[in-house]
Amino acid sequence: MSTHEETLSGRDFARLSAFVYSEAGICLGPEKKTMLEGRLKRRLRELNMTSYRLYCEYLFGQEGLREEKVSFIDVVTTNKTDFFREAKHFDYLTQRALPELASRAGGRTLLVWSAGCSSGEEPYTLAMVLSEYAEGHAGFRFQVLATDISTKVLAHAELGIYTADDVEPVPPALRKKYLMRSRERGADRVRIVPELRRLVEFRRLNFMDADYGLSAKADAIFCRNVIIYFDRPTQEKILRKLSHRLAEGGYLFVGHSETLHDMNLPLDALGPALYRRIDGRV
Protein backbone atom coordinates (compact mmCIF):
# COMPACT_ATOMS: atom_id res chain seq x y z
CA MET A 1 0.00 0.00 0.00
CA SER A 2 1.46 3.42 -0.90
CA THR A 3 1.84 6.04 1.81
CA HIS A 4 -0.71 8.46 0.35
CA GLU A 5 -3.45 5.81 0.62
CA GLU A 6 -2.95 5.27 4.33
CA THR A 7 -3.56 7.58 7.24
CA LEU A 8 -1.76 7.73 10.55
CA SER A 9 -3.79 5.71 13.04
CA GLY A 10 -4.96 7.28 16.30
CA ARG A 11 -2.88 4.77 18.23
CA ASP A 12 0.32 5.58 16.31
CA PHE A 13 -0.32 9.32 16.58
CA ALA A 14 -0.72 8.92 20.36
CA ARG A 15 2.59 7.03 20.56
CA LEU A 16 4.42 9.59 18.42
CA SER A 17 3.02 12.61 20.26
CA ALA A 18 3.90 11.07 23.65
CA PHE A 19 7.41 10.40 22.34
CA VAL A 20 7.83 14.00 21.09
CA TYR A 21 6.66 15.30 24.46
CA SER A 22 9.07 13.11 26.44
CA GLU A 23 12.05 13.78 24.14
CA ALA A 24 11.59 17.44 23.23
CA GLY A 25 8.83 18.78 25.49
CA ILE A 26 6.73 19.71 22.43
CA CYS A 27 2.95 19.30 22.68
CA LEU A 28 1.15 17.84 19.68
CA GLY A 29 -2.59 18.05 20.29
CA PRO A 30 -5.12 16.08 18.20
CA GLU A 31 -5.43 19.06 15.83
CA LYS A 32 -1.78 18.45 14.77
CA LYS A 33 -2.42 14.92 13.47
CA THR A 34 -2.89 16.00 9.83
CA MET A 35 0.22 18.19 10.02
CA LEU A 36 2.32 15.31 11.37
CA GLU A 37 0.92 12.96 8.76
CA GLY A 38 1.91 15.33 5.95
CA ARG A 39 5.43 15.86 7.26
CA LEU A 40 6.04 12.17 7.92
CA LYS A 41 4.91 11.29 4.39
CA ARG A 42 8.10 12.86 3.01
CA ARG A 43 10.20 10.98 5.56
CA LEU A 44 8.57 7.67 4.63
CA ARG A 45 9.48 8.27 0.99
CA GLU A 46 13.09 8.98 1.95
CA LEU A 47 13.24 5.70 3.91
CA ASN A 48 11.34 3.82 1.19
CA MET A 49 8.68 2.73 3.70
CA THR A 50 5.10 1.94 2.72
CA SER A 51 3.15 2.76 5.86
CA TYR A 52 3.11 4.87 9.01
CA ARG A 53 2.76 1.69 11.05
CA LEU A 54 6.06 0.36 9.66
CA TYR A 55 7.70 3.69 10.41
CA CYS A 56 6.55 3.54 14.04
CA GLU A 57 7.84 -0.03 14.37
CA TYR A 58 11.19 1.16 13.05
CA LEU A 59 11.35 4.33 15.18
CA PHE A 60 10.53 2.53 18.42
CA GLY A 61 12.88 -0.36 17.73
CA GLN A 62 16.46 -0.39 18.99
CA GLU A 63 17.97 0.68 15.67
CA GLY A 64 15.39 3.43 15.11
CA LEU A 65 15.88 4.97 18.54
CA ARG A 66 19.57 5.16 17.74
CA GLU A 67 19.43 6.15 14.05
CA GLU A 68 16.10 7.89 13.48
CA LYS A 69 15.27 9.86 16.64
CA VAL A 70 17.00 13.10 15.59
CA SER A 71 15.46 12.96 12.08
CA PHE A 72 12.01 12.44 13.58
CA ILE A 73 12.43 15.47 15.86
CA ASP A 74 13.53 17.44 12.77
CA VAL A 75 10.27 16.44 11.07
CA VAL A 76 8.15 17.64 14.01
CA THR A 77 9.75 20.99 14.78
CA THR A 78 8.34 24.12 13.17
CA ASN A 79 10.87 26.62 11.90
CA LYS A 80 9.62 30.07 10.97
CA THR A 81 11.74 33.16 11.35
CA ASP A 82 12.82 36.34 9.56
CA PHE A 83 15.71 38.78 9.50
CA PHE A 84 15.08 41.73 11.86
CA ARG A 85 11.86 40.15 13.14
CA GLU A 86 10.33 42.28 15.93
CA ALA A 87 12.89 44.98 15.11
CA LYS A 88 12.28 47.02 18.29
CA HIS A 89 14.18 44.34 20.24
CA PHE A 90 17.32 45.04 18.21
CA ASP A 91 16.85 48.79 18.73
CA TYR A 92 16.61 48.24 22.49
CA LEU A 93 19.68 45.99 22.43
CA THR A 94 21.89 48.60 20.75
CA GLN A 95 20.49 51.75 22.35
CA ARG A 96 19.91 50.60 25.93
CA ALA A 97 21.30 47.16 26.75
CA LEU A 98 24.70 47.08 25.04
CA PRO A 99 26.13 50.35 26.47
CA GLU A 100 25.34 49.14 29.97
CA LEU A 101 26.42 45.51 29.42
CA ALA A 102 29.69 46.66 27.83
CA SER A 103 30.50 48.97 30.75
CA ARG A 104 29.88 46.12 33.22
CA ALA A 105 31.88 43.63 31.16
CA GLY A 106 35.16 45.51 31.59
CA GLY A 107 36.64 44.32 28.28
CA ARG A 108 35.24 40.77 28.51
CA THR A 109 33.73 39.29 25.34
CA LEU A 110 29.93 39.55 25.55
CA LEU A 111 27.93 36.41 24.80
CA VAL A 112 24.57 36.78 23.04
CA TRP A 113 22.58 33.56 22.63
CA SER A 114 19.93 32.91 20.00
CA ALA A 115 18.06 29.98 21.59
CA GLY A 116 15.85 28.32 18.98
CA CYS A 117 17.73 29.92 16.08
CA SER A 118 15.94 28.02 13.29
CA SER A 119 17.49 28.65 9.85
CA GLY A 120 19.83 31.38 11.10
CA GLU A 121 18.07 34.67 10.36
CA GLU A 122 18.01 35.76 14.02
CA PRO A 123 21.68 35.03 14.91
CA TYR A 124 22.89 36.64 11.68
CA THR A 125 20.74 39.69 12.44
CA LEU A 126 22.37 39.81 15.88
CA ALA A 127 25.83 39.48 14.34
CA MET A 128 25.09 42.42 12.01
CA VAL A 129 23.69 44.60 14.79
CA LEU A 130 26.56 43.78 17.17
CA SER A 131 29.19 44.32 14.44
CA GLU A 132 27.73 47.75 13.71
CA TYR A 133 27.86 48.60 17.42
CA ALA A 134 31.46 47.35 17.67
CA GLU A 135 32.53 49.66 14.83
CA GLY A 136 31.57 52.68 16.88
CA HIS A 137 32.87 51.41 20.23
CA ALA A 138 36.55 50.55 20.44
CA GLY A 139 37.34 47.43 22.46
CA PHE A 140 33.80 46.02 22.26
CA ARG A 141 33.96 42.27 21.62
CA PHE A 142 31.15 39.76 21.28
CA GLN A 143 30.25 36.19 20.36
CA VAL A 144 26.90 34.90 19.08
CA LEU A 145 25.82 31.39 20.07
CA ALA A 146 22.98 29.93 18.00
CA THR A 147 21.24 26.70 19.05
CA ASP A 148 18.34 24.63 17.80
CA ILE A 149 17.06 21.07 18.23
CA SER A 150 16.78 20.54 14.47
CA THR A 151 19.97 19.38 12.72
CA LYS A 152 18.32 20.13 9.38
CA VAL A 153 17.85 23.86 10.01
CA LEU A 154 21.27 24.14 11.68
CA ALA A 155 22.92 22.76 8.52
CA HIS A 156 21.02 25.36 6.45
CA ALA A 157 21.92 28.13 8.91
CA GLU A 158 25.63 27.32 8.86
CA LEU A 159 25.71 27.67 5.08
CA GLY A 160 24.23 31.17 5.40
CA ILE A 161 22.55 31.05 1.96
CA TYR A 162 19.19 32.84 1.51
CA THR A 163 16.94 34.09 -1.28
CA ALA A 164 16.58 37.76 -2.18
CA ASP A 165 13.06 37.65 -0.66
CA ASP A 166 14.45 36.25 2.61
CA VAL A 167 16.82 39.20 3.07
CA GLU A 168 14.30 41.89 2.09
CA PRO A 169 13.89 43.02 5.77
CA VAL A 170 17.65 43.71 6.06
CA PRO A 171 18.32 47.48 5.66
CA PRO A 172 19.96 48.22 2.26
CA ALA A 173 23.23 49.49 3.79
CA LEU A 174 23.63 46.28 5.81
CA ARG A 175 22.65 44.15 2.81
CA LYS A 176 25.45 45.74 0.82
CA LYS A 177 27.93 45.25 3.63
CA TYR A 178 27.12 41.75 4.91
CA LEU A 179 25.66 39.84 1.94
CA MET A 180 27.31 38.46 -1.21
CA ARG A 181 25.31 37.89 -4.40
CA SER A 182 25.47 34.53 -6.14
CA ARG A 183 27.75 34.45 -9.19
CA GLU A 184 25.27 32.18 -10.99
CA ARG A 185 23.49 33.96 -13.80
CA GLY A 186 19.88 34.69 -12.90
CA ALA A 187 20.19 33.24 -9.38
CA ASP A 188 18.39 35.18 -6.66
CA ARG A 189 20.47 33.74 -3.85
CA VAL A 190 22.73 35.65 -1.48
CA ARG A 191 25.18 34.47 1.16
CA ILE A 192 26.26 35.92 4.49
CA VAL A 193 29.86 37.14 4.16
CA PRO A 194 32.45 34.81 5.75
CA GLU A 195 33.57 37.46 8.28
CA LEU A 196 30.04 37.55 9.73
CA ARG A 197 29.55 33.76 9.57
CA ARG A 198 32.68 33.33 11.67
CA LEU A 199 31.10 35.36 14.48
CA VAL A 200 28.28 32.84 14.97
CA GLU A 201 28.71 29.41 16.56
CA PHE A 202 25.93 26.95 15.70
CA ARG A 203 25.19 24.03 18.02
CA ARG A 204 22.42 21.47 18.49
CA LEU A 205 20.63 21.84 21.81
CA ASN A 206 17.48 20.22 23.17
CA PHE A 207 15.70 22.39 25.78
CA MET A 208 14.83 19.19 27.65
CA ASP A 209 18.51 18.35 28.25
CA ALA A 210 19.61 18.54 31.88
CA ASP A 211 22.82 20.37 30.96
CA TYR A 212 22.89 22.98 28.19
CA GLY A 213 26.68 22.81 27.98
CA LEU A 214 27.38 26.56 28.16
CA SER A 215 30.83 27.32 29.52
CA ALA A 216 29.91 30.96 30.24
CA LYS A 217 26.70 32.74 31.15
CA ALA A 218 24.99 34.74 28.42
CA ASP A 219 24.64 38.52 28.65
CA ALA A 220 21.51 38.44 26.49
CA ILE A 221 19.28 35.58 25.38
CA PHE A 222 16.87 35.78 22.46
CA CYS A 223 14.32 32.99 22.85
CA ARG A 224 11.47 34.33 20.74
CA ASN A 225 8.43 32.47 19.45
CA VAL A 226 9.84 29.22 20.81
CA ILE A 227 8.07 28.48 24.11
CA ILE A 228 4.65 28.68 22.43
CA TYR A 229 5.21 25.04 21.37
CA PHE A 230 5.37 23.83 24.99
CA ASP A 231 2.75 23.44 27.70
CA ARG A 232 2.81 25.84 30.66
CA PRO A 233 4.78 23.64 33.12
CA THR A 234 7.40 22.90 30.45
CA GLN A 235 7.59 26.60 29.53
CA GLU A 236 8.36 27.52 33.14
CA LYS A 237 10.93 24.73 33.44
CA ILE A 238 12.75 25.87 30.26
CA LEU A 239 12.62 29.56 31.20
CA ARG A 240 14.03 28.77 34.64
CA LYS A 241 16.96 26.94 33.01
CA LEU A 242 17.52 29.85 30.63
CA SER A 243 17.36 32.34 33.51
CA HIS A 244 20.09 30.44 35.35
CA ARG A 245 22.28 30.62 32.24
CA LEU A 246 21.80 34.37 32.05
CA ALA A 247 24.36 36.60 33.74
CA GLU A 248 23.03 38.78 36.55
CA GLY A 249 21.67 41.94 34.97
CA GLY A 250 21.45 40.16 31.61
CA TYR A 251 18.47 40.46 29.26
CA LEU A 252 15.92 37.92 28.01
CA PHE A 253 13.94 38.70 24.86
CA VAL A 254 10.86 36.54 24.15
CA GLY A 255 8.19 36.66 21.43
CA HIS A 256 5.41 39.25 21.68
CA SER A 257 2.77 36.51 21.88
CA GLU A 258 4.56 34.85 24.81
CA THR A 259 3.86 35.74 28.42
CA LEU A 260 5.78 34.91 31.60
CA HIS A 261 2.94 36.14 33.82
CA ASP A 262 2.61 34.26 37.15
CA MET A 263 5.79 32.24 36.57
CA ASN A 264 8.22 31.96 39.45
CA LEU A 265 11.37 33.24 37.69
CA PRO A 266 14.30 35.47 38.73
CA LEU A 267 13.33 38.04 36.10
CA ASP A 268 11.96 41.58 36.08
CA ALA A 269 9.66 42.71 33.27
CA LEU A 270 11.08 45.78 31.50
CA GLY A 271 8.65 46.11 28.61
CA PRO A 272 6.78 44.10 25.97
CA ALA A 273 8.47 40.68 25.69
CA LEU A 274 11.57 41.96 27.51
CA TYR A 275 12.93 40.79 30.88
CA ARG A 276 16.03 41.22 32.98
CA ARG A 277 17.84 38.81 35.32
CA ILE A 278 17.55 40.11 38.88
CA ASP A 279 20.81 40.24 40.80
CA GLY A 280 20.96 37.74 43.63
CA ARG A 281 17.61 36.02 43.11
CA VAL A 282 17.57 32.26 42.44
Burial of 194 by CB count in 10 Å (0-12 exposed, 13-18 middle, 19+ buried)?
exposed
pLDDT at 27: 84
| Residue 282 pLDDT > 60 | no
Q: 241: buried, middle or exposed (CB in 10 Å: 19+, 13-18, 0-12)?
A: middle
User: Both ends of the chain: CA-CA distance in Å?
Assistant: 56
pLDDT of residue 69: 86
**Percentage of the residues of the chain whose pLDDT score is greater than 90:** 61
pLDDT digits (tens, 9 = 90+) for 62-96: 888 888 988 888 888 766 789 999 999 999 999 99
Whether residue 263 is predicted with pLDDT greater than 60 in this model: the reply is yes
Is the per-residue pLDDT at 116 higher than 60? Answer: yes
- Nearest by Cα to 20 from 62, 78, 63: 78
What is the model's pTM? 0.82
Active-site residue 148, yes or no? yes
pLDDT band at 1 (very low <50, low <70, confident <90, very high): very low
How far is C-alpha 19 from the chain's CA centre? 21
- From the list 206, 208, 275, the residue with the least C-alpha distance to 243 is 275
pLDDT value, residue 186: 65
Q: CB–CB of 246/276 below 8 Å?
A: no
- Report CA-CA distances (Å) from 49 to 56, 57, 162: 11, 11, 32
pLDDT-based confidence at residue 202 (cuts at 50, 70, 90): very high
From 199, 255, 203, 267, select the one nearest 227 (Cα to Cα). 255
Q: List Cβ neighbours of 220 (8 Å cut-off, separation of 6 or more).
A: 93, 97, 101, 110, 112, 113, 246, 250, 251, 252, 253
Catalytic residue among 12, 43, 85, 148: 148
pLDDT at 281: 57
Note the pLDDT tens digit of each residue in 152-197.
899 999 999 999 999 999 999 999 999 998 777 667 899 999 999 9
Highest mean pLDDT among 112-121, 205-214, 253-262: 112-121
What's the one-letter identity of residue 224? R
Does 228 score more than 50 pLDDT? yes
Q: 162-173: string of b/e by CB count within 10 Å (b at 16+)?
A: beeebbeebeee
Q: Which one is predicted more confidently, 192 or 5?
A: 192
Q: Which residues contact 113 (CB under 8 A, 6 or more apart)?
A: 144, 145, 146, 147, 214, 218, 220, 221, 222, 245
Ordered domains of the chain (ranges, CATH): 3-76 (1.10.155.10), 88-277 (3.40.50.150)
Q: Cα–Cα–Cα angle for 137, 132, 277, nearest 5°? A: 75
Q: Return the bridge partners of 221, or none.
A: 113, 252
CA 154, distance to chain mean position in Å, is 9
Q: Provide the pLDDT confidence category of residue 29 given band limits of 50, 70 and 90.
A: confident
Closest residue by Cα to residue 22 from 65, 63, 58: 65
Q: Is 39 a catalytic residue?
A: yes
Instruction: Specify burial of residue 41 (Cβ count, 10 A radius: 0-12, 13-18, 19+).
Output: middle
Q: What percent of the chain has pLDDT over 70?
A: 96
User: Within its chain, how far is the Cα of 145 from the centroid?
Assistant: 10
Residue 112 reports pLDDT greater than 80: yes
Could you give the CA distance from residue 41 to residue 96 in angstroms, rounded to a whole number? 47
Rounded Cα distance, 27 and 131, in Å: 37
